Structure 1
Amino acid sequence: MNILYQDDYFFAIDKPAGFFVHPPEFSPYPVPKEKICLHVLRESMKREVFPVHRLDAPTTGVLLWTTSRDATRELSRLFMDRNMEKTYHAVVRGVVDTEGIIDLPLEFDDVPVEACTTYKRLKVAELPYAVGKKYPTARYSWVEVRPVTGRWHQIRRHFDRIAHPLLGDIEHGDSHHNRFFRDTLEIRGLCLKATSIEFVHPWTKQNVKIEAPSCDKWTRIEKLFNEYSFTP
């Protein structure tokens, strides 16, 4: 796992797809230790480390960790006070508005809780393929997303609620378009990446912005959107 930032208080990694942050509580199948970030990092760094927040197993990108419980509490407080600006990139089905706010409650333990996500459309692509029976072409949007709250599967569930599910989302997405991306375009997995996180360092008081580098998958996505770009 690549370390993107490190100081005396915390560090950030570029989490690969398929890795759990810590052992899942309700997984229907056993997860090997080699696929658990907590285990891998403790083994490689030979010390205790603590996750500050979570990313879903199929999501890639910036993930914060600390090396002490005190530091964990400080950074967790920034999350609770909404002083962490998290930015994601995602590919969704269809053409979304140029920008928008999804302010829809999401269920947690069967109870609706506040949930808010903002987004901005970056690019749109139209491919000459009929995916499903409704349209002769397939349209997709590349969006920049900023979650205001931090609920379970928030980005994935919110875009599904507005009929623009994320590509590669096997739980909340569109199986026809997921299959098209996987089998025809050979772009596999969830198209969701935590691209950056920005906040004021609790100890130095300096602004910190940590960014995830590009990777082969998102380079291919960019090429796809450039090749099939269109103006809605």
Structure 2
Amino acid sequence: MSDLETLSAAVPAALAGQRLDQVLAQLFPDYSRARLQQWIKAGQVQVDGKQLRPKDRLLGGEQVAVQATAAREVTWQAQPLPLNIVYEDEHILVIDKPAGLVVHPASGNPDGTLVNALLNHAPELDAVPRAGIVHRLDKETSGLLVVARTLKSQKHLVDMLQARVMKRQYQAVICGVMPSGGTVEAPIGRHPVDRKRMAVVANGKPAVTHYRVIRRFRAHSHIRVDLDTGRTHQIRVHMAHIRHPLVGDPVYGQRLRIPPDSSEQMMATLRRFRRQALHAARLGLEHPASGEPLEWQAPLPDDMVRLLEVLQQDADEHA
């Protein structure tokens, strides 16, 4: 356990009759309801010197004291792995993740992940749920993600995500020539047959994806994508749903189609691109402590730059 701080407050009369956990959530909004309930059950909350249950109701006027401590949340090991840190202070980290790096340890990837590297760089993350990861990127998706270094920062960033005010902009290369931009609004959930995949399903969670064309090629398009929601595999699923799957997507892609009269270089480039051509290019948020609006950009990785160069060369040769 590591001490954070002692929180104290008087219960205002306006909250009389509410449950202890409800009162704490309003008195200390920097912490999640689940975290506050955990502290109550662990005996770290006293009301007029007494321990109560989360469901016990207050009369108003009581003095509440919370010993706000953070238990070790993760059992993953720290590993000295390279990290491309774009921004860092005592509240958050912003990372430019390379393609091929798994975010969280799991059965197939017990170590060598972004989390292992983060724990080595910032050991205090072992006291933050999910080692501070607020939003994920798929293994083969590159680009920016933010990590919370404290419970308060995590709560603030999660609230921003839920309120849809965190700006996340991606770039992607898709199959097919898009005539213009648009919006996909289609619910996403588990595939009814293949449970490892996601799909557009009637009973899925709401998902909204906006896309705009940056460049068109003979049989592909370079697009910018903005998310209103953050469902698992959202961009990949939505683009496949409108029949423009991402180049190289091994799960939601289509059979490789090479434009007629393509050069050897063009054919080789498309065949060798074995990951979804997706990059988290811009990230914007309100700093959890200062409230200052911040934004970062990450340049396209070399493999996507090369892919776009070859597609443009092909388009020029057939103009």
Instruction: Give % identity.
Output: 30
1:148 aligns to what? 228
**Distance change >3 Å, CA 190–CA 91, structure 1 → 2:** same
- For the residue of structure 2 that corresponds to 1:227, the secondary structure is helix
- For the residue of structure 1 that corresponds to 2:217, the secondary structure is strand
Q: What is the CA-CA distance between 1:182 and the residue it aligns to?
A: 9.9
**Distance change >3 Å, CA 214–CA 68, structure 1 → 2:** same
Q: Which amino acid aligns with 2:268?
A: T
CA distance in 1, matches of 2:285, 2:91: 14
1:56 aligns to what? 138
Residues 91 and 288 of structure 2 are in contact (CA less than 8 Å); yes or no, is this contact kept in structure 1?
Answer: no
Q: TM (normalized to structure 1)?
A: 0.84
1:115 aligns to what? 207
Could you list the runs of 5+ residues in structure 1 that have no partner in the other structure?
Answer: 127-138
Greater share of strand: 1
1:175 aligns to what? 255
Residues 13 and 64 of structure 1 are in contact (CA less than 8 Å); yes or no, is this contact kept in structure 2?
Answer: yes
Q: TM (normalized to structure 2)?
A: 0.62
Structure 1 segment 156-195 matched on structure 2, within 5 A: 156-177=236-257, 184-185=268-269, 186-195=272-281
Structure 1 segment 56-95 matched on structure 2, within 5 A: 56-95=138-177
- For the residue of structure 2 that corresponds to 1:214, the secondary structure is coil
Q: Which amino acid aligns with 1:73?
A: K
Q: Which amino acid aligns with 1:207?
A: P
Q: What is the CA-CA distance between 1:66 and the residue it aligns to?
A: 1.5
Structure of higher CA gyration radius: 2
Is 1:210 the counterpart of 2:315? The answer is no
Residues 182 and 188 of structure 1 are in contact (CA less than 8 Å); yes or no, is this contact kept in structure 2?
Answer: no
Please give the per-residue CA displacement for 1:20-52, whole angstroms capped at 9, x wherever unaligned.
21123xx5xx21411x11112112334324111
Could you list the runs of 5+ residues in structure 2 that have no partner in the other structure?
Answer: 1-82, 126-130, 193-202, 259-263
Q: Which amino acid aligns with 1:219?
A: V
Q: Which amino acid aligns with 2:306?
A: R
Instruction: Between the two structures, name the one with larger relative contact order (CA 8 Å, sep ≥ 6).
Output: 1
Q: Which amino acid aligns with 1:33?
A: D
CA-based RMSD of the aligned residues comes to: 2.5
CA distance in 2, matches of 1:59, 1:171: 13
Residues 168 and 181 of structure 1 are in contact (CA less than 8 Å); yes or no, is this contact kept in structure 2?
Answer: no
Q: What is the CA-CA distance between 1:228 and the residue it aligns to?
A: 3.2
CA distance in 2, matches of 1:206, 1:162: 37
Q: What is the CA-CA distance between 1:229 and the residue it aligns to?
A: 3.9
1:3 aligns to what? 85
Q: Which moved more, 1:101-110 or 1:67-76?
A: 101-110
Please give the per-residue CA displacement for 1:139-196, whole angstroms capped at 9, x wherever unaligned.
0000000111111110000000000000111110013249x99971143422000001
